[in-house]
Structure 1
Amino acid sequence: MVEENERRPMDIGLPTNICHVAHVTYDRFDGFLGLPSEFEPDVPKKAPSASATVFGVSTESMQLSYDSRGNCVPTILLLLQRRLYDQGGLQIEGIFRITGDNSEEEFIREELNNGVLPEGIDVHCLAGLIKAWFRELPRGVLDPLPSQQVMQCESEEDFVKVVRLLPQTEASLLNWAINLMADFVEFEDVNKMSSRNLALVFAPNMSKMADPLTALMYAVQVMNLLKNLTDKTLRERKIASSQVGPCDNSSEGEDGDVEEYNQEEMYTLEEEDEDDDLNKEDEIIKVEEESLLSDEHKPTSESNANDQTKQET
C-alpha cells in the first residue's frame, strides 16, 4: 500500500490567497524589467555588450560630431544615418517597424565597437541599431523632463515649451531624432511610415520609467510629443522651401544682370581694342608712306650728284 501511494501523482489544488506583487516584462536587450529584488539573484545577468563603447554608455564618453543642422551628436548615429540613406532606406516600406536579424545585429555591434561599419548591411538592421542606441542609453533622452509636465501637455505649443527644458546634450539628440523622422515622413507614400507610425516605434526608446504601468501611459504621451514635433518640423520645411524659391529667382536675376553688364563691358573693351588697332594701323601706314617718300627722294639726290661730277669733268 505504501508503494502504491508513493507512485500516485501528487494532487495540486487550485491557487488561493493570490495577490499582485509586481508587473514583470522581458526585453531581449535589458532582460527582465520590474523584477522584485528578492528574485534578482535567481535570474542570470545579461552578458556585457561587445560594443559597450558605443552602446549603453553616456554621450560624454563618446566621439561627437556636428550634423548639417548644427546638432552635436555621437558620430555613430551620423554613420548609421548616412549608410541608411545611401542604401535607400528612406524608401523601404516598414522601415523602423520591421526588425532586423538578431545575429547580424550582434555582429555589427562587435564591428562598430572596433570602429568599423561593414558593407552590405540590411537596412532594417541599421534602423534597429539606431533605435537600440537610444534605448540603451543610461538615461533616456526625455528623462530630464518633469514627467508631470509632459503628461499635462495637450497641444503642440505645450510640447514645444516643455522640450525647451532639456539640457543641451539631450536637446541636440532629440532634434536629430525629430529631423530623422521627418526625413522618412517625406517619403510616406513609399515607405508607409507616417509621423504617427514613426513616433509609435521611437517612443519606447526615448525614456526609462521604473514602473512598467506608468511607463506605458508615459510612452503614449511621448508618442504624442514626437508626432507633434515631427509635424511641426515638416511644416517649417515647407515654409522654408517656399521662401527659398523667390530668393533664388531674384539672385538668378541679379546674376543675369551682372552677366549682361560684363558682356556689355566686354563689348566696349573689344570696341576700344578695335579702335586702338585701327589707330595703330593708321600709324603704321603713315610710317610706311614716309619711308616710301624718303626712298623716292634718295635716288634723285644721287642722280644730281652724278650730274655735277660729270659737268666738272
Structure 2
Amino acid sequence: MEIGWPTNVRHVAHVTFDRFNGFLGLPVEFEPEVSRTPPSASTRVFGVSTESMQLSIDSRGNCVPTILLMMQRRLYSQGGLKSEGIFRINPENGQEEYVREQLNNGIIPENIDVHCLAGLIKAWFRELPTGILDSLSPDQIMEAKSEDECLRLVRLLPTTESALLDWALNLMADVAHFETINKMNARNIAVVFAPNMTKMSDPLTALMYAVKVMNFLKTLIASTLREREDS
C-alpha cells in the first residue's frame, strides 16, 4: 500500500504583539509582508491616540491608558497628593525629558520629583491628537452653568473621552481632598487642568475658553467630592 503526502494540513502559529518589540512568533514566510517593527504609535505614550496604547481598567471600571495608572500610582505612593502646589509647580529642569523617554519604554524611574510626574500627566492630556472635551462645542461648555447641566454634557461624550474625563476628575478630586495641605482646592486644580482638555489654534480664544472649561471642571470636581461624601 502506497502512502501519499498528507492532505488537509493546517499550520498553526501562535503570534503575539508586543508594543515594544512588535510581532513575536511570526512565521518566516510572512516576514516580507508583515513588519516585525511595531508601529510608531505603539512605542510612544505622548501625542498619540489612545487606540494605539496599552489600556487597563481603573478602580471605577474606566478603560484608560496603562501609563496614566502607572504615573498615578507613583504620584500617590510618593506623597504627591500632599505636596504643596501639586500640578501647579513646574518640575525641575532636565528631568522631564529623561522621564518621558523612560515612560515610552514602559518604565517609571525611581525617585522622580512628584512635580515632574504631575507635569507629565498634564502633558499627556495636552498632547493628545484631540482634546477630550473637543466633541462638545464651546457654546455647550459656556452655557452649562449648573451641576445638572454639566453632568448632562458629560453623558454626551464618546466612551473613550468619558472614561478619560472620569479618571481625570477623580484624580483632581483626590488632590482637592487634601487642599488644606497642598493648597490646591477644586478651583485651583481646575485652573491648571483646563488648558489641557481642549485644542484651539488661536491662543487668545483658547485662553478665554479655558476659563469656561475651568468653571466646567470645577463644578464636576465639586460634584465628585459631594458624591463621595454621600456614599
Q: Following the alignment from structure 2 to structure 1, what is the Cα–Cα distance between the partners of residues 221 and 115?
A: 21
Question: Does the CA-based 8 Å contact 1:64-1:72 persist in structure 2?
Answer: yes
Which residues of 2 match residues 52-201 of structure 1 at below 5 A? 53-201=44-192
SS at match of 2:117: helix
Match of 2:16 in 1: none
What is the SS of the residue equivalent to 2:88?
coil
Partner-residue secondary structure (3-state), 2:56: strand
Structure-1 residue corresponding to 2:227: 236
SS in 1 for 2:216: helix
**Paired residue for 1:219?**
210
Cα distance in 2, alignment partners of residues 206 and 134 from structure 1: 6
Say what the alpha-carbon RMSD is for the aligned residues.
Answer: 1.4
Query: Which AA in structure 1 matches 2:111?
Result: G
Report the CA distance between 1:239 and its aligned residue: 0.6
Instruction: State the shift of 1:164 in Å.
Output: 1.3
Distance 2:86 2:140 in 1: 31
Letter in 2 for 1:196: R
Work out whether residues 145 and 163 of structure 1, in 8 Å CA contact, stay in contact via their aligned partners in 2: no
Q: CA deviation at 1:98?
A: 0.3
Cα distance per residue 1:55-93 (max 9 Å; x no partner) = 000000000000000011000000000000000111100
Q: CA contact under 8 A between 1:94 and 1:192: conserved in structure 2?
A: yes
CA distance, structure 2, for counterparts of residue 237 and residue 153 of structure 1: 22
Note the residue ranges of structure 2 that are not aligned, 5 or more in a row: 1-39
C-alpha distance in 2 between matches for 1:87 and 1:165 = 35
- Larger RCO (CA within 8 A; separation ≥ 6): 2
Query: Which of 198, 203, 207 matches 2:194?
Result: 203
- String of CA shifts for 1:253-288, please: whole Å, max 9, x gaps: xxxxxxxxxxxxxxxxxxxxxxxxxxxxxxxxxxxx
Q: Is contact 2:47–2:124 with CA below 8 Å preserved after alignment?
A: yes
The TM-score, its normalising length taken from structure 2, stands at 0.80
Contact preservation (8 Å) 2:43, 2:105: no
Superposed displacement of residue 213, structure 1: 2.0
* Alpha carbons 2:84, 2:184 under 8 Å: kept: yes
Alpha-carbon distance, 1:102 to partner: 3.3
Residue identity (%): 69
Counterpart secondary structure, 2:84: coil
Tell me which stretches of 4 or more aligned residues in structure 1 moved more than 6 Å.
none
Q: Structure 1: which 5+ runs fail to align?
A: 1-48, 241-313
Task: Measure, in 2, the Cα distance between the counterparts of 1:52 and 1:164.
Answer: 32
TM-score for both structures, normalised by structure 1: 0.60
> Counterparts of 2:219 and 2:167 in 1: how far apart (Å)?
15
Q: Structure 2 counterpart of 1:211, which letter?
A: D
Q: Is the 8 A contact 1:182 1:234 kept in 2?
A: yes
SS at match of 1:108: helix
Q: Secondary structure at the match of 1:121?
A: coil
